[in-house]
């Protein structure tokens, strides 16, 4: 259970009770370190953005209509967003080699919602991260725990899904170990709930006390 005193930037709670249909989206958790270590790429969204301004995220975004539907569409979108936000092109631009890791659906209580599919990919050896300076204004390679520590120290701003991913990723010693774990693994969608009590909002994950109330 996570307590928050305000929504993330642009992540307003839905006051009218009508659920927003989640937009399909995809993100890439780009890895480096091989068999030795584990680092991952985070990019900082511009603080001018109405949604998630100033937040550090995995490169990603919405699935375009022309990319179709289903798993292949999510893979194409993930590969495209990695190029657009970080300047890194995968060997297969269709994203066919991406390893599915997780799927998170924004809580029904939030106004702007996404159904995001997260994929793992080892960084190409010759990759040079280039951000556009407009949508994304900074980037960094982080060990998962180092990113969490930087957030706790107020050095970077993270949101709930990213924090939960980093907590899980911190349990792996290397990029290779993580990829081996995720390859062929069944992915089950996670949809947190937001429960508001007074001025405090609690984010509950499936299985936590109060989630099914």
Tens digits of per-residue pLDDT, 24-68? 999 999 999 999 999 999 999 999 988 889 999 999 999 999 998
Task: State the pTM of this model.
Answer: 0.91
Do the Cβ atoms of 182 and 169 come closer than 8 Å? no
Q: Which residue segment(s) compose the domain that 72 sits in?
A: 20-191
Q: Is residue 211 part of a domain?
A: no
CA dihedral 27, 201, 3, 102 (to 10 degrees): -20
Domain count, the chain: 1
The answer to the question of residue 198 being in a domain is no
Q: Token match 């793992």: residue?
A: 120
Q: What is d(CA 148, CA 49) in angstroms, rounded to the nearest whole number?
A: 23
Name the pLDDT band for 132 (thresholds 50, 70, 90).
confident
Any domain includes 5: no
Average pLDDT, the chain: 91
| 3-state SS assignment for residue 209 | coil
In a domain, 200, yes or no: no
Over residues 161-191, the pLDDT tens digits come to: 999 999 999 999 999 999 999 999 999 999 9
- Indicate if the pLDDT at residue 123 is higher than 60: yes
Q: Which residue has the tokens 């928050």?
A: 4
CATH assignment at residue 54:
3.90.79.10
Three-state secondary-structure class, residue 66: helix
- Residue 87 inside a domain? The answer is yes
pLDDT at 11: 60
Whether the Cβ atoms of residue 105 and residue 22 lie closer than 8 Å to each other: yes
Residue 40 lies in a domain: yes
């Amino acid at each position: 259970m996570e307590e928050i005193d305000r929504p993330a930037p642009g992540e307003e709670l839905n006051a009218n009770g009508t659920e927003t249909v989640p937009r399909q989206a995809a993100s890439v958790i780009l890895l480096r370190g091989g068999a030795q270590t584990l680092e991952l790429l985070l990019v900082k969204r511009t603080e001018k953005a109405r949604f998630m301004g100033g937040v550090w995220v995995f490169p990603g975004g919405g699935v375009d209509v022309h990319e179709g539907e289903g798993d292949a569409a999510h893979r194409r979108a993930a590969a495209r967003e990695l190029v657009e936000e970080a300047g890194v092109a995968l060997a297969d631009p269709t994203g066919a080699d991406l390893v599915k890791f997780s799927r998170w659906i924004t809580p029904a209580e939030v106004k702007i919602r996404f159904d995001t599919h997260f994929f793992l990919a080892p960084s190409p050896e010759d990759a040079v991260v280039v951000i556009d300076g407009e949508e994304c204004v900074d980037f960094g390679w982080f060990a998962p725990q180092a990113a969490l520590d930087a957030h706790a120290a107020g050095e970077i701003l993270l949101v709930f899904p990213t924090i939960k991913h980093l907590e899980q990723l911190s349990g792996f010693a290397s990029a290779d170990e993580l990829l081996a774990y995720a390859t062929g693994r069944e992915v089950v969608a996670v949809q947190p709930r937001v429960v508001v009590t007074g001025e405090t909002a609690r984010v509950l994950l499936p299985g936590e006390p109060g989630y099914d109330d």
